[in-house]
Amino acid sequence: MYAFLSGKRIILVSRSPRRIQLLNQIKLPFEVAPGLFEEGLVSRKTPAEYACHQALQKALSVVSQYPEAFLIGADTVVVDEQGILEKPVNPADACQMLRRLRGKTHQVITGVAVVATGKTGKDVKYLVRYESTEVRMRALSEEEIQGYVRTGEPMDKAGAYAIQGVGALLVEGINGCYYNVVGLPLVLLMKMLKEMTR
């Protein structure tokens, strides 16, 4: 299935266990490199520009270590009409985020960067794209929000929920790519890898 990659090394520049699990799911051979990039809000960008910027910076941060490889960077943000929701800083913050999202549709945007490095690791080519998925959250009761936050699951998740976990029970439905919501839009990534090998 991955003959088009011609055996080129694929490096996922991410510490996210979800992204690692998703590439295992599609049986793509890959290695993991933790990015050397500090995450942080960049001002004056749209959420999609922000996610793309972060994704590219992650991938570029290890360029010199991986010559002749494809480096994959990704960054996922949760967005409503008020702006970007980051990871909650504590359980009270998680409750506040879920109160903000309940009973409404929000967007999940993942920026994806594929960086192809040359022989020296310096001559790079790259592609950056993003995928956006609508998520409709149920009208959660206060009891449900507190019960979910007590599971501990929201604490390291943007927007304070994990659709691939117990958080499945919070989501009425989605419109778009499910894996984008988990953290890595697999179909988009595969299109980008194919484009890079052309």
Residue 86: strand, helix, or coil:
coil
- Binding to a copy of itself by CB under 8 A, coded x per residue (else -) over 99-138, reads ----------------------------------x----x
Please report how close the Cβ of residue 180 comes to a copy of itself at its closest, in angstroms: 9
> Measured between alpha carbons, how far is 179 from 182 in angstroms, rounded to an integer?
5
Residues 37-76 that bind a copy of itself (CB under 8 A): none
Q: Which DSSP string corresponds to 110-166?
A: EEEEEEEE-TTS-SEEEEEEEEEEEEEE----HHHHHHHHHTSGGGGSGGG--TTTG
75 included as an active-site residue: yes
**Which of the ranges 5-13, 24-32, 60-68, 86-94 carries the binding residues for a copy of itself, by CB under 8 A?**
24-32
Please classify residue 196 by burial: count the beta carbons closer than 10 Å to its beta carbon, then call 0-12 exposed, 13-18 middle and 19+ buried: middle
- Binding to a copy of itself by CB under 8 A, coded x per residue (else -) over 158-187, reads -----xxxx-xx-xxxxxxxxx------xx
Binding residues (CB under 8 A) for a copy of itself: these are 1, 22, 25-27, 133, 138, 147-148, 151, 163-166, 168-169, 171-179, 186-187, 190
